[in-house]
Structure 1
Amino acid sequence: MPDINETLQGNTPAPDTDQTVTEQVEAPATEQLDAFAAGVEEARAAETAEAAPAVTPPADPAAVVDPAAPAAPVEGEGGQPAAPAAADPNAAPAAPAAPAPVEAPKSVEDEIKDLGITNERTQKRFRDLSERASEADSLRERAGKVADWEQTIQSTGATPQQFGATLLYLTDINSGDPVRMNRAYETMEAELKFLGEKLGREAPGFDPLAAHPDLAEKVKTGDLDRAAAVELVQHRQRGVLQTEQQQNQQRVSQSKQEEDKGLQAVADLGAQLRASDPQFQQKFAYLLPAIEIIQSTLPPAQWASAAHQAYLRLPAIPAAAPAVATRPNNPARASAAPAVPATPKNPSDAFSFGVAEAQAQGR
């Protein structure tokens, strides 16, 4: 089911993606690891480019041989072309060229040495990041396997109770314990009876004609053969199953439409709150638990209204205290010493004293 937390924030989730809040928080860490790995690869490429030998052009341009030109014939005695050398029939066949050795991946210590990292603190940081990168790859692989397994289970349409009963049934079969194997047999009998009722087929403890008294009466009077009557029961049950399947598909389609409408209403609410409340992002952190309960307990048609009510019940967040303005420094003062004496030396200096005091106050 789509997450209405992202929809309320205005972040539309990608199709077929069930990303949890924890994965969203851990995503920047994975991106940092990927960026670190890209930096290491770039350093390797730069080092390889510096270590590659330069190609020295030949001194004599005439000595350059055109690979497309035919080879010059080798002259023999008397100026005649020499005959090609005959192959030795006793010579051993030429050995095939050995494949180029595959370079083994470098260790972390080799990477540190190649990159020229000498600071111990930087080396430790490099080792930690390398270890985290390898752990991230392992966790990413395991998470992919778990996601595939969950998708496989969901594709069967089994409920958690059915899946648990299936695992118990398989465990009983493979246990070798007669008591548990008898339990597996009884479980299989119950499943056969269930399938017999759905398909109209005979099964242990189930008579297909029991639910169709009209056909049972014809069989009793001899107007209809039992095998033909059972076939008619199966034909009726196929029609019932097709009707149920169509109804289920309609319910799934209707549920999807209701979810889409609910998500759209939540998205509109999020856009309205972001535009009207400058503290929306700060308040949203306190709203997350309530939204999770709303999505799991209420129908999609009530998601937006319930989220809005929960938002209105949030307490006001106090505004940040304004920064205290500091007195500007007087550039005319060369040191922290007082610019003027506390009192004028004589009455004639009163005017100069007032001017200096005003400058010291930044006026």
Structure 2
Amino acid sequence: MDEIETTDGAVIETGATDTGTDTTSASDAPVDSDAAALAAFDAGVAELTTAPASDEGSAPVTTAADVAAAAAAAKTDDATAHAPPAAGGAPLAVDHAKKDGDAAKPAEPAKDPAKGEAQPDPETDAAVTELGLKGKAETRFREMASTIKTQAQELEPLRAAAERGEQWEKMVLETRATPEQFGQSLGYLAYINSGDPGKMGQAFDFLLGELQALGKNIGREVPGLVDPVADHQDLAQAVQFGEMTRAAALELAQRRVAEQRMRETQSATEQKSRQQAEHDKGMQDVAALSERLKATDPAFGEKLKVLAPVLDSIRQSVPPSQWVAKIEDVYQRIQVAAPVAAAPPAPAARPPVGSMPLRATGTTTPMQRTLKGANEMDAFEMGLQSIGR
């Protein structure tokens, strides 16, 4: 008799089990050690307990041994395929890849947009499905897609700021103001809006100076500051002697100033056109010089490396009409090592006599008769003479 201790601590005596008879069927599927242990445990429980006969219509009791044996026989990559029913009748999912003790992962909660959580992206989902991405590749692809979309959203305000900057720059350039004038104008605006009486007084003085300069440039009278008639002696004398009214003298002075400004503007435009034409002509001449030197001087590339750093200083210090002469003068004084000429190809070696087999014709040729009895040196000489003919 064997003694078995139950889970409640009671010891129960059982009859000896006959181990001499092999009751295992040849067709039974082998089970692993865990399944075998569970089967032994259920066998012991079945012998110790007497289960009452079940009523008709009740479901048969499925033991742990049955579950283990079915799981061992139906191992598959699909955790839910061919899973034996559990004791309660529910399908039993067997995950053979899952280690013991691993807790089941809870379902991922739905994203809450109110909390700033990322929402599903149908476009990214479609791309993942189309490309067949899985695992780490899918994770990396989703991260990249999210980063690109985030950066695109961040670029929008930067693009708008860049457009505003371009508009501002265009507006400033259209004023044709010098950097000094632009800075003074900004300072003037800052002073008049400061609310400080001292700074506002400086802005007033600045404005009076600008008004005086502008009055002279256009021939407008500013009492106490600008008198256009005083700048023209003939007009001032005519007004003094009563030969012309002051109003007529002011109008004539203003006309003279306008004509003078027109002549100055026209002269500046013509001068700018001449400078541009000279610049274009100088660049064309330099290009022609470059082509000529490249075609005639084999060391052009090496000399150009030495000449390139001084080209800008030549353009800035010498008028365009003198660029070619100055550049060519500097170029001719540059000394570089002459390029090594490539060695001429070696003449093709003549094949040795031994590699020129004599054609067998069934008869002895004069060459074959001559070679008979000749030593190697004589044969070599005869071969050279025959080839040289």
Normalised by the size of structure 1, how large is the TM-score? 0.47
Structure with the larger helix share: 1
Name the structure, 1 or 2, with higher relative contact order (CA <8 Å, separation 6+).
Answer: 1
